[in-house]
Amino acid sequence: MAEKTRKIAFILVLTMIFWVSPALSYSNHTLQLFPNKRTAIVDGKNYTLTATPLLSGGRLFVPIRDVSDLLGITVSWDAKVKKAVVSYPFVPDLTAENQTLKENLQDSLSYLQILEDPQTNALLTTIKTIKEQYLYPEKTSSIAYAAAKGAVDSLQDAYSGFYDPVEAKQVLEAVQGNFVGIGVYLQESKSGIVIVKVVPNSPAEKAGLKAGDIITKVDNQDVSQSSLDIVSALLKGEEGTTVNLTVTRSGKALSVTVQRKSITVPTVTLNMSTTTVAVIQIDQFTETTPTELKQALQSVKAPKLVLDLRGNPGGLVQSLVDIAGMFLGPKPVFVYRDNQQTATIDAEGSQIYTGKMYVLVDKYSASAAEMLSGALQDNKRAIIVGERTYGKGVGQTLFDLDDGSLLYLTTFEFRTPTGKTINNYGIDPDVKIDPATALQYVLGLP
């Protein structure tokens, strides 16, 4: 079920539950029997029966042996009590022995139940009628995709979306990192897609882009209402090509041209390491982040560590859990809830760093960065310094549909180990201070 689900590096992804269409396909087979005729028809093919069916009293009496052979079931005649005994596999017994069959059957039955829903039937009938009856058929080619987009839009969820095959290709290219970019970290906000961090020495920095800039146009295409993954895909392209951006900064529109370049950026940077204090910056949580952090911690001997999560938009949940374990050991990291279950997720492995910790956050610290901050705060492992974080406490699953389109849907919520809500609120720091001066503040502490 989950083999098509893709994980996105810049979006927190937890448990993949992938359902697109019924895993089983049911075929209807037709057996036709006629009174006083020895010819039966099974799926359009003729068969000669051993006996002639008889019609009596409005009932058709048929030969048991032929029915048994043609339908592939076991039919026997009990002469003593004069009755027919029909034997066939019992589905619950089959599914009890075969977990895959059980899951497939549950998927298929769920799909059939959805089709029986009056509202679903109304939608499908509407689409079918428009395609068959609308005066201008040339306008109906994308009506199903429009309906899918409308269904997702009706959720009023900024993090969910539907992408037709053309859009989906752009999204997957961004996800898989097949193209070069300009060197920015992006995040969705109420004002639009905002740049939360500019990679040092990147084309974006050389062009004058700054954290806090809101992207409104890409090559004159309005992206003020576009999703994060679409904007990210538009910024990528072949190395050496340019992209023109219009951004809003402090209420003013600015236009910049940026050359795309192949950029390899580590997610972990050891900014300072002395005998008294070390400063480690994590830009996002990717597959390589735990390994990078472990390498950085090997050279840290200081009794005080500052973990800088300012501008960190989040990332992969497994990366987060692995990193939390380096500071917590096997302790709770967050509480996970979907529409079927609630569970506490614990870190695994042994604790690597045991010294005193401070975590720097700002309003752009989101998702996995908030989860790590909340875990360290609730476990009384670190002091959180800065301003309240972004407040993204939900995660999404990417469903790769058979026709090449994508459904990106919010499927779960996470809270801190003690149950504090993150979504639409964020993590309150222990020490509220301007994030721009937070590092200097912590370095000045004894």
Within this chain, do residues 286 and 402 fall inside the same structural domain, yes or no? yes
Q: pLDDT tens for residues 281-331?
A: 999 998 889 999 999 999 999 999 999 999 999 988 899 999 999 999 999
Give the residue, 112 or 165, on which the prediction is more confident: 165
Q: How confident is the model at residue 59 (pLDDT cuts 50, 70, 90)?
A: confident
- Mean pLDDT, to the nearest integer, of 137-148? 93
Lowest mean pLDDT among 46-60, 166-180, 275-289, 425-439: 166-180
Q: Which of 367, 373, 420, 430 is catalytic?
A: 367
Provide the pLDDT confidence category of residue 346 given band limits of 50, 70 and 90. Answer: very high
> At a CB cut-off of 8 Å and minimum separation 6, what does 271 contact?
279, 280, 281, 308
Number of structural domains in the chain: 3
Task: Please give the share of the chain, as a percent, with pLDDT higher than 90.
Answer: 56
- The per-residue pLDDT for range 201-212, each reduced to its tens digit, is 899 999 999 999
Q: Looking at the structure, do residues 226 and 317 belong to the same domain, yes or no?
A: no
Cα–Cα dist 188/203, whole Å: 22
CATH of the domain at 225: 2.30.42.10
Instruction: Write the DSSP string, 162-213.
Output: EE-HHHHHHHHHHHHT-SBB-SEEEEEETTEEEEEEE-TTSHHHHTT--TT-
Beta-strand relationship, 304-308 and 356-361: parallel
Active-site residue 392, yes or no? yes
272 and 129: one domain? no
- Got the DSSP string for 56-78? ETTEEE--HHHHHHHHTSEEEEE
Residues 127 and 192 in one domain: no
- pLDDT band (50, 70, 90) for residue 21: very low
Does any domain span residue 355?
Answer: yes
Q: Taking residues 68-93, what's their average pLDDT?
A: 76
Residue 408 lies in a domain: yes
- What pLDDT is stored for residue 94 in this prediction? 65
Q: Which residue among 112, 131, 163 closes a domain? A: 163
pLDDT at 409 over 70: yes
| Statement to judge: residues 184 and 147 lie in one domain | no
Catalytic residue flag (residue 25): no
197 is a domain residue: yes
Catalytic status, residue 362: no
In this structure, what CATH number is given to the domain that contains residue 436?
Answer: 3.90.226.10
279 and 238 within one domain? no
The answer to whether position 430 is within a domain reads: yes
What average pLDDT is seen over the chain? 86
* Tens-digit pLDDT profile for residues 164-196: 998 888 777 555 544 578 999 888 888 899 998
Last residue of a domain, one of 236, 259, 282: 259
My answer on whether 290 and 433 are in the same domain is: yes
Instruction: Look up the domain containing 436 and give its range.
Output: 268-443
Phi, psi of 115 (to 5 degrees): -65, -25
Q: Clarify whether residues 219 and 284 are in a common domain.
A: no
Identify the active-site residue in 392, 402, 420, 428.
392
What's the mean pLDDT in 99-121? 76
Which tokens in the block code for residue 242? 């340019």
Which residues sit opposite 306 in a β-bridge? 279, 358
252 with 299, same domain: the answer is no
Same structural domain, 222 and 204:
yes
CA–CA dist 240, 71 (Å, integer): 66
DSSP state of 224: T
Mean pLDDT of 9-13: 30
Which of 238, 259, 280 delimits the end of a domain? 259
DSSP-derived pairing of the beta strands 356-361 and 383-386 = parallel
Residue 311 and residue 412 in one domain: yes
- Reduce the DSSP state of residue 30 to 3 states and report it: coil
The verdict on 321 and 354 lying in the same domain is yes
